[in-house]
Amino acid sequence: MQKLLRTIPALLICVRFALGPIIWWIVYNKISPWWFLVGFIVAYLTDIFDGIIARRLGVSTPALRTADSWVDTWFYFWVMVSVWMTHVDTIQKFATPLLILITLQVSEWVYGRIKFGRLTGYHAYIAKAWGISLFFAIFSVMLFNYDGIFWWAAIILGWISSIENWLLTLTLSTWTTDVKSIFHVWRTKKT
């Protein structure tokens, strides 16, 4: 039983991995947007609880945390394709800010890979705030056709998170996960 419990965080990550293409399929087949919402909420909850449960069970390994980060990217790729299919006007409206965000993200991943020989996944506080803002941005546009303040909040938090990840990669001498913020790293380096 204990061994089964220890697999729960990985199973939650696998559920989120599967939900990305399922959500796209729901949108592609023009199934009720409420099914999109159900899948999106389930995925969001798995993202919250995989880390909490992993820490409580003592199975929060670097490999699990890295998988969590990359499955988030995979999942949101499918979500954004779904938004593109249903709200291309929103994507066009935010094209330049989204391209800046994608450039920041991809360049940070590439730099992390070059510096550490592996992909980064810091899970900093600002990244968690970005995740919350993404939930509201996607929810608002997919169910209420609203792409105002929630989209700007998500994009700006995404920029800040990406810049912080750049700073973390520049500052850290060894690869690590679960870094609270760049300020925590700087404070540690001063002592």
Average confidence (pLDDT) per 10 residues, the chain, 191 residues: 86 97 96 91 94 90 90 95 95 97 95 92 92 94 93 97 96 91 89 68
pLDDT at 5: 84
Domain positions in the chain? 1-86, 88-191
Kindly report the three-state secondary structure assignment for every residue of the chain: CHHHHCCHHHHHHHHHHHHHHHHHHHHHCCCCHHHHHHHHHHHHHHHHHHHHHHHHHCCCCHHHHHHHHHHHHHHHHHHHHHHHHHCHHHHHHCHHHHHHHHHHHHHHHHHHHHHHCCCCECCCHHHHHHHHHHHHHHHHHHHHCCCCHHHHHHHHHHHHHHHHHHHHHHHCCCCCECCCCHHHHHHHHHC
pTM above 0.95, yes or no: no
pLDDT at 33: 86
pLDDT at 189: 82
